[in-house]
Structure 1
Amino acid sequence: MAIALILVLIAVGSVLFHVLSPWWWTPIASNWGYIDNTIIITFWITGVVFVAVVLFMAYCLFRFRHQEGRRAAYEPENKRLEWWLTIITGVGVAAMLAPGLFVWKQFVTVPEGASVIEIVGQQWQWSYRLPGKDGRLGTSDIRNVSSDNPLGLNPSDPHGQDDVVVEGGELHLPVGKPVKVLLRSLDVVHDFYVPEFRAKMDMVPGAVTYFWFTPTRTGTFEALCAELCGVGHPQMRGSVVVENESDYQAWLEQQPTFVRSSAGLGPKVESPRLTD
């Protein structure tokens, strides 16, 4: 009897903790509200199943508790019950998978007109590459990686000469514009993750993965590594600044291109203005 009561309290307490909990997601800052909706659907389905199973266990402990003169009935098979359990379980699993498949299709379908950037992970920092005036990223090869070419860009590719390279600094993005993010790793598996964007993907050595999103509000957001990548994993942090178009273009103009970095010229510096 006591165990049945404890199970009921566990079910009720779990629901109240979820409903009244002050801990929830960070406010979303991208178009991926679908991700939140999919997780909420999963919460509802698994929550209902959890409560039903726990309460059923409590009912069985109370209903079939030991009493003098009562004997258990042995029933090794019940095809009707098995069919019902199979159907209900199948419907529940399908209900959880269907929204995820719908969102995944959108997640990997990049809209036309999206800009392209590259994020490179290595122990233990983030580096970024953005297209220059030609609007295209040059090719890269890990065999080209050196102290003068940390991202391994192809020095013979004309499209890469004006690529903007940001090593270990902030990534700036314009608000309200879709962007396709190419992901590379130079050593181990990393995972670029900004919680407010709800979008992330593993960065696998030897492969280029991607995701896309549209920033929907301005601000500075912390970027984390969501894959255990070594002893420096907790310190692998960065910042993504989402700003209006004019501020973004002003920042972009000040960043070094690949050809300037290779020549050791560093970032662009505005010439001082003479006044009377």
Structure 2
Amino acid sequence: MAIIIVLVLLVLGSVVFHFISPWWFTPIASNWQSIDTTINITFWVTGFVFVAVNLFLAYAVFRYRFNTNRKADYQPENKKLESWLTVFTTVGIVAMLAPGLYVWGQFVEVPADATEVEAVGQQWHWSFRLPGEDNILGEVDPRLISDSNPFGINPADPAGQDDILVQSNELVLPLNKPVKVLLRSKDVLHNFAVPQFRVKMDLVPGMVTYLWFTPTRQGRFDIMCEELCGVAHFAMRGKVRVIAEPEYQKWLAAQPTFLQSQNRYAGDAQLGRTMYQVCAACHGAAGEGNTQLNAPALAGQSRWYLKRQLQHYQQGVRGSSEGDLYGAQMVAMANMLQDEQTQANVLSFIDSLPAPKIKRADGDLQRGRALYRNCSYCHGSRAQGMYAMNAPALTALDASYLRRQLDYFKQGVRGSHNSDFYGAQMQLMAQSLHSEQDYAAVIAYIASLSDSAGSENATLRSAP
């Protein structure tokens, strides 16, 4: 009897949990309601079989329980029973497969008016490319991928000159317009998935895969990699922001083209020297930083990173969080460099400054080398920074600043703003350092790389 009770309770509990479970579909935000329908059909078919088989098992245990006055009858074959089982099984399988095949037929047939967008995955970052005015994506070649050309666009292809490049982890799309997403991987298997859109597809190195959908609801939705792609797979996140058409066109017009990314915004270092005197009060006359004023070194840092941080301070992405006292001080200073040309001049002057000599730090270098391996995928094997990964150089930063930023990421002071995608990744990565010894070891190892990273940094600092 105990077995019978357990089987019945198992069935009842499973059915009740199915209806009251908190883990259910997210509200749909695309045209793929039919995918939900196919999943629901599968639930009903498999649920019916689960209930029927287990209740029959409970009945059989009860009906044919042991009885000394009864003898079992052995029947090796029962054609009637086998026929009925074959029919019911076939009906169940057809009921599950037919809707899926029908939906798959729609999934691979892209509407003729769909806009093509390319999503490029690499450990552990998303970037996007959209067609320009010619509505054609330019030719790409993996052999052309570099820090200044992270998409590998062929510069000799006229169709690629106006391609719009989005180096951010956020893809913006217009409402109610079909989109075909071309998927390309630079390294290993990845997977592009947006739960609210009910679409996902693998990114396979060496080939281009695709999916399509029509966004039907405005909002911000998570892009996730649902293919185990390495140690920081969990940090490979992105966003899709769906907005109305007029707002989308305004956003699109503000994005750089491939041609613009190759024609870097020139600056006058001599004019920048004068404007830099305001910065020198904290960061030092040679951009060497000042630990007493909690100001990091600027010399030796990548130009594109410094520009993004200025923009983040101006936009409130940095310096607005509770506890970021030094960031709050920088907000007012950054707002003095609103003009694009002034920014270019100051950054050109900082480019001309030699990288500072960083003091060695105490810590277990062997342990630090092992811990830094996770960091190297984004920041480079010599901590020189990587433009393609939006990761800054670390070798120009002193131990106290590195430690404070790690604490900020771990405590949520940095990386909590909705627009700080890379900060959000760093929040997750910072959790891998569990003790004071871990902090000291990885910082000491980074400091030990500063001598050998100078020449590498010089080639990267002027990237777009």
The residue aligned with 1:96 is 96
Q: Distance in 1 between matches of 2:169 and 2:86?
A: 53
The residue aligned with 1:67 is 67
The residue aligned with 1:124 is 124
Superposition pairs for residues 187-202 of structure 1, below 5 Å?
Answer: 187-202=187-202
Structure 2 counterpart SS, 1:133: coil
Amino acid at match of 2:51: V
The residue aligned with 2:415 is none
The residue aligned with 1:50 is 50
Structure 2 counterpart SS, 1:50: helix
The residue aligned with 1:228 is 228
The residue aligned with 1:40 is 40
The residue aligned with 1:244 is 244
The residue aligned with 1:139 is 139
Q: Which runs of 5+ in 1 are unaligned?
A: none
Q: CA contact under 8 A between 2:189 and 2:229: conserved in structure 1?
A: yes
Amino acid at match of 2:52: A
Structure 1 counterpart SS, 2:88: helix
Tell me whether 1:260 sits opposite 2:265 in the alignment.
Answer: no
Q: CA deviation at 1:169?
A: 3.2
Q: Distance in 2 between matches of 1:234 and 1:168?
A: 18
Structure 2 counterpart SS, 1:24: coil
Q: Distance in 1 between matches of 2:263 and 2:60?
A: 77
Deviates more, 1:256-265 or 1:96-105: 256-265
Q: Distance in 2 between matches of 1:20 and 1:170?
A: 34
Superposition pairs for residues 148-159 of structure 1, below 5 Å?
Answer: 148-159=148-159
Q: Distance in 2 between matches of 1:53 and 1:156?
A: 65
Structure 2 counterpart SS, 1:172: strand
Q: Distance in 2 between matches of 1:190 and 1:218?
A: 26
Deviates more, 1:16-25 or 1:184-193: 16-25
The residue aligned with 2:110 is 110
Q: CA deviation at 1:86?
A: 1.2
Amino acid at match of 2:62: F
Q: Deviations over 1:79-133 (max 9, x none)?
A: 1111111111111111100000000010111112111100000000001000011
Q: CA deviation at 1:200?
A: 1.2
Amino acid at match of 1:248: Y
Q: Distance in 2 between matches of 1:233 and 1:157?
A: 34
Give the number of the structure whose residues are more often strand, by fraction.
1
Q: Distance in 2 between matches of 1:260 and 1:60?
A: 75
Give the number of the structure whose residues are more often helix, by fraction.
2
Amino acid at match of 1:62: F
Q: Deviations over 1:28-60 (max 9, x none)?
A: 000000110000000000000000111111011
Greater RCO, 1 or 2 (C-alpha within 8 Å, sep 6+): 1
Q: Deviations over 1:183-213 (max 9, x none)?
A: 0001111111111111111110011001110
Q: Distance in 1 between matches of 2:262 and 2:51?
A: 61
Superposition pairs for residues 15-26 of structure 1, below 5 Å?
Answer: 15-26=15-26
Q: Distance in 1 between matches of 2:90 and 2:96?
A: 10
Tell me whether 1:209 sits opposite 2:222 in the alignment.
Answer: no
Q: Distance in 2 between matches of 1:250 and 1:202?
A: 31
Q: CA contact under 8 A between 2:169 and 2:237: conserved in structure 1?
A: no
| RMSD between superposed Cα atoms in Å | 1.7
Amino acid at match of 2:239: S
Q: Distance in 1 between matches of 2:264 and 2:180?
A: 29
Q: Distance in 1 between matches of 2:22 and 2:207?
A: 40
Q: Deviations over 1:5-41 (max 9, x none)?
A: 1101101110111012233111000000011000000
Q: Distance in 1 between matches of 2:133 and 2:176?
A: 21
Greater C-alpha Rg: 2
Amino acid at match of 2:158: P
Q: CA deviation at 1:252?
A: 0.8
Q: Give TM-score scaled by structure 2 length.
A: 0.57
Q: CA deviation at 1:168?
A: 3.2
Q: CA deviation at 1:262?
A: 2.2
Q: CA deviation at 1:271?
A: 8.1
Amino acid at match of 2:126: W
Matched positions, count = 271
